[in-house]
Amino acid sequence: MTTDKNSPIGVFDSGLGGLTVVKEMGHYLPGEKIIYFGDTANVPYGDKTASQLIGLADNIAGFLMAKGVKAVVDACNSTSAVALEFLQKKYDVPIVGVIEAGVRGALNQTRNGKVGLIATRATIDSQAHRKAAEKLDSKVEILGQACPLFVPLVEAGKVNTPETIKAANMYLAPLQRAGIDTLILGCTHYPFLAPLLKRVLGDGVCLVDPAENTVLELNNLLHGKINESQALSFSHHEYFVSGDPAAFKEVGERLLNAPLGAVTQIPGDKSMKAVP
Question: Quick check: 19 binds ligand DGL (CB under 6 A)?
Answer: no
Smaller CB separation from ligand DGL, 14 or 145: 14
Question: Quick check: 123 binds ligand DGL (CB under 6 A)?
Answer: yes
Smaller CB separation from ligand DGL, 15 or 55: 15
Cβ-contact 206, 183 below 8 angstroms? yes
- Tell me which stretch binds ligand DGL (CB under 6 A): 2-10, 162-170, 183-191, 258-266: 183-191
- Tell me which stretch binds ligand DGL (CB under 6 A): 7-15, 51-59, 198-206, 214-222: 7-15
- Pairing relation of β-strands 206-208 and 238-241? unpaired
Smaller CB separation from ligand DGL, 35 or 75: 75
Question: Quick check: 214 binds ligand DGL (CB under 6 A)?
Answer: no
Smallest Cα–Cα separation from 13: which of 29, 35, 32? 35
Question: Quick check: 36 binds ligand DGL (CB under 6 A)?
Answer: no
Question: Quick check: 243 binds ligand DGL (CB under 6 A)?
Answer: no
Q: Which residues pair with 265 in a beta bridge?
A: 241
Is 187 one of the catalytic residues?
yes
Cβ-contact 12, 74 below 8 angstroms? yes
User: Considering only residues 10, 11, 12, 13, which one is a binding residue for ligand DGL as defined by CB under 6 A?
Assistant: 13
Which residues does 157 contact at the CB level (< 8 Å), separation at least 6?
Answer: 250, 251, 254, 255
Cα–Cα distance for residue pair 237/47, rounded to 1 Å: 29
Residues between 43 and 82 with contacts to ligand DGL, criterion CB under 6 A = 43-46, 76-78
Question: Quick check: 151 binds ligand DGL (CB under 6 A)?
Answer: yes
Cβ-contact 14, 78 below 8 angstroms? yes
Question: Quick check: 183 binds ligand DGL (CB under 6 A)?
Answer: no
Cβ-contact 237, 33 below 8 angstroms? yes
Smaller CB separation from ligand DGL, 71 or 101: 101
Q: Please provide the DSSP assignment of 46-88 as one string.
A: TTS-HHHHHHHHHHHHHHHHHTT-SEEEE--HHHHHHHHHHHH
Question: Quick check: 14 binds ligand DGL (CB under 6 A)?
Answer: yes
- Pairing relation of β-strands 206-208 and 182-186? parallel
Question: Quick check: 145 binds ligand DGL (CB under 6 A)?
Answer: no
- Residue 88 amino acid letter: Q
String of contacts with ligand DGL for each residue 82-121, x by CB under 6 A:
--------------------------------------x-
Is 76 one of the catalytic residues?
yes
Among 76, 201, 205, 207, the active-site one is 76
- Residue 221 amino acid letter: L
User: Considering only residues 69, 184, 187, 251, which one is a binding residue for ligand DGL as defined by CB under 6 A?
Assistant: 187
Q: How many residues bind ligand DGL (CB under 6 A)?
A: 17
Burial class (CB in 10 A: 0-12, 13-18, 19+), 222: middle
Q: Annotated catalytic sites, by residue?
A: 76, 187
Q: Applying CB under 6 A, which residues contact ligand DGL?
A: 13-15, 17, 43-46, 76-78, 120, 123, 151, 187-189
